[in-house]
C-alpha cells in the first residue's frame, strides 16, 4: 500500500482551487421521498452554480441514467456535465467518494479510499447494504485517472474531517470515537492515521456536532475552515436549545487550542436556524424504506445548519431553509458574505435536502486542482 505521508501528499483546504466537483444523482427511496422530485430543484441549482466555476462529474446508476439525462437536458446542462455511470447506494458524495490529496512538488492528485459502513455498520448504521457505496471511491479513482491510497482498513467518511491545508484537521469526538467506526483504535491511533493519510500534523478534536445529526455528529455540519486560522462554528444563544451546550463546549475547546502553525483560531459564530426544521408526515409518506434502513418519525428535528455550505472556486453555496426561518436565512447570507468578501454567496433552498439526511456539503466532494495519473 502506498503511504501518502511518505509520498508527501496532503489534503488542501476546500477553499483552495478545485479542478472539479463530484456529485451523485439522488435516487434512494429511503432518503429521497417522492422519487426525489421535491429535492430536484435544489440539486439543479447546485449543479448550475458549480458549473459556473468548475467541472462537474455526476455519478448516476445505470437504471437512472435516462431520467438523469432528461432532467439535465431540461435544465440546459446536459452538454456541460460529465456523467459517470456507476452503481451506488445513495447520493452522499462527501462520504463515499475519495478524499483527494495533492503532492505539492509534482502537482499529482490522488484519492484516499476509506472504508464506508453507512455511518456505523452493525452498531448504528443507517442502511444495511452499502457495498456499492464502499466500492465507489476505488471505481472513481480508476475511471478519472487518479492514483489511489488504500485505506480500507479504516472507517471514515469525508464529512467527518475538515482540513486547513496547512497541517490542521478538524474532527468531532462524537463521530470518530463512536463504536460503529474504529472501536479497536484509541483516539491517539485514530489521530495518527488521519495525519498519515492526509499529510497533516495536528488534529483538533471538537467534542460535539449538531444536535440529532444521524452521522454521529460530523464536523462538516458544525465547524468549518474559511481559510487557515479562521473558522465558523454553528451557534445559538438560546440556552434552552440542546444545541447550546454542544456548541458552547466546542467554542470553549477551540478557544483553548492552537493549530499546527501555533495560531489561535479566529472563530465566527454562525447561528443555526431560529426555528427547528422538522420532518413532516407528508415527507414520511413519500419514503420507501428498505429492510435494515433507519426510519424517521413525524416531528423529528433535522440537523439543519448553515455550516454545511460548499466552496466552489469563486462562490459559497449556502443552505437556506425557508418559511419561518427566512430571517435566519438572510442573516446567514449576510454573515457569510461579510466573512468571505472575495466570493459570491449563493443561497440554495435546502429544506428538501435536509429531509434526505444531509445538506450541500454532504452532497459534494471537491477534486483539488492538479494532475491525474492518466
How far apart, in Å, do the first and last CA atoms of the chain sit?
19
Q: pTM (2 decimals)? A: 0.97
> Does 297 score more than 90 pLDDT?
no
pLDDT digits (tens, 9 = 90+) for 232-290: 999 999 999 999 999 999 999 999 999 999 999 999 999 999 999 999 999 999 999 98
Whether the predicted pLDDT of 6 surpasses 90: no
Least confident range of 3-12, 135-144, 325-334: 3-12
Q: What is the mean pLDDT of residues 176-187?
A: 98
Residue 15: pLDDT over 70 = yes
Strand boundaries in 89-195, DSSP class E: 99-102, 109-115, 147-155, 162-163, 168-172
Question: Is 80 exceeded by the pLDDT of residue 366?
Answer: yes
Task: Tell me what pLDDT residue 295 has.
Answer: 84
Q: Using an 8 Å Cβ cutoff, are 348 and 309 in contact? A: no
Q: Are 174 and 207 in contact (CB under 8 A)?
A: yes
pLDDT band at 1 (very low <50, low <70, confident <90, very high): very low
- Kindly report, residue by residue over 98-111, the tens digit of the pLDDT: 999 999 999 999 99
> What kind and span of H or E run contains 74?
helix 65-74
pLDDT at position 296, please?
A: 85
Greater pLDDT, 4 or 266: 266
Asked if the model's pLDDT at residue 76 lies above 90, the reply is: yes
Mean pLDDT on 333-352: 98
Under the banding of pLDDT at 50, 70 and 90, the label for residue 294 is: confident
Q: What is the DSSP letter of 204?
A: E
- The answer to whether the beta carbons of residues 91 and 356 sit under 8 Å apart is yes
Three-state DSSP class for residue 226: strand
Of the given ranges (60-64, 291-295, 308-312), which has the lowest mean pLDDT? 291-295
What is the model's pLDDT at position 3?
63
Segment 207-214 shows an average pLDDT of 97
pLDDT at 5 over 90: no
Please report the sign of the dihedral spanned by the C-alpha atoms of residue 120, residue 122, residue 126, residue 130: positive
- Higher-confidence residue of 292 and 310: namely 310
What is the model's pLDDT at position 120? 97
pLDDT at res. 371: 83
Catalytically annotated residues: 362
Q: For 302-329, what is the HEC assignment?
A: CCCCCCCCEECCCEEEEEECCHHHHHHH
Handedness of CA 234, 236, 241, 245 (dihedral sign): positive
Q: Do residues 149 and 110 touch, judged by C-beta distance below 8 A?
A: yes
| pLDDT at position 56 over 70 | yes
Domains of the chain: 4-368 (3.75.10.10)
Nearest C-alpha neighbor of 171 from the set 134, 120, 207, 138: 207
Tell me how far apart the alpha carbons of residues 84 and 98 are, in angstroms, rounded to a whole number: 15
Instruction: In whole angstroms, give the CA distance from residue 204 to residue 131.
Output: 31
Residue 10 has pLDDT above 80, yes or no: yes
Amino acid at each position: 500500500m502506498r503511504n501518502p505521508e511518505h509520498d508527501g501528499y496532503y489534503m488542501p483546504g476546500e477553499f483552495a482551487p478545485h479542478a472539479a466537483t463530484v456529485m451523485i444523482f439522488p435516487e434512494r427511496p429511503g432518503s429521497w421521498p417522492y422519487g426525489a422530485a421535491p429535492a430536484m430543484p435544489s440539486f439543479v441549482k447546485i449543479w448550475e452554480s458549480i458549473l459556473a466555476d468548475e467541472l462537474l462529474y455526476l455519478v448516476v446508476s445505470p437504471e437512472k441514467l435516462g431520467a438523469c439525462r432528461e432532467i439535465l437536458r431540461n435544465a440546459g446542462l446536459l452538454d456541460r456535465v460529465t456523467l459517470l455511470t456507476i452503481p451506488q447506494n445513495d447520493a452522499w458524495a462527501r462520504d463515499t467518494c475519495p478524499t483527494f490529496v495533492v503532492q505539492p512538488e509534482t502537482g499529482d492528485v490522488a484519492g484516499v479510499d476509506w472504508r464506508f459502513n453507512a455511518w456505523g455498520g452493525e452498531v448504528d448504521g443507517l442502511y444495511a447494504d452499502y457495498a456499492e457505496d464502499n466500492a465507489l471511491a476505488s471505481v472513481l479513482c480508476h475511471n478519472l485517472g487518479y492514483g489511489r491510497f488504500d485505506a480500507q482498513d479504516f472507517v471514515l467518511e469525508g464529512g467527518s474531517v475538515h482540513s486547513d491545508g496547512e497541517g490542521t484537521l478538524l474532527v468531532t469526538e462524537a463521530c470518530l470515537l463512536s463504536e460503529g467506526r474504529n472501536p479497536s483504535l484509541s483516539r491517539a491511533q485514530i489521530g495518527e492515521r488521519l495525519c498519515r493519510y492526509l499529510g497533516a500534523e495536528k488534529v483538533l478534536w471538537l467534542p460535539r456536532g449538531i444536535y440529532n445529526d444521524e452521522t454521529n455528529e460530523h464536523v462538516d455540519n458544525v465547524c468549518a475552515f474559511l481559510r487557515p486560522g479562521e473558522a465558523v462554528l454553528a451557534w445559538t444563544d438560546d440556552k434552552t436549545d440542546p444545541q447550546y451546550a454542544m456548541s458552547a463546549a466546542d467554542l470553549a475547546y477551540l478557544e483553548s487550542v492552537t493549530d499546527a502553525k501555533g495560531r489561535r483560531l479566529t472563530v465566527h459564530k454562525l447561528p443555526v436556524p431560529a426555528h427547528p426544521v422538522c420532518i413532516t408526515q407528508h415527507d414520511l409518506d413519500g419514503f420507501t424504506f428498505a429492510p435494515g434502513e433507519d426510519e424517521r418519525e413525524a416531528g423529528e428535528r433535522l440537523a439543519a445548519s448553515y455550516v454545511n455550505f460548499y466552496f466552489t472556486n469563486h462562490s459559497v453555496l449556502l443552505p437556506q431553509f425557508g418559511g419561518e426561518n427566512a430571517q435566519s436565512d438572510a442573516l446567514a447570507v449576510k454573515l457569510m458574505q461579510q466573512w468571505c468578501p472575495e466570493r459570491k454567496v449563493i443561497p440554495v433552498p435546502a429544506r428538501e435536502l435536509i429531509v434526505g439526511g444531509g445538506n450541500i456539503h454532504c452532497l459534494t466532494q471537491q477534486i483539488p486542482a492538479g494532475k491525474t495519473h492518466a
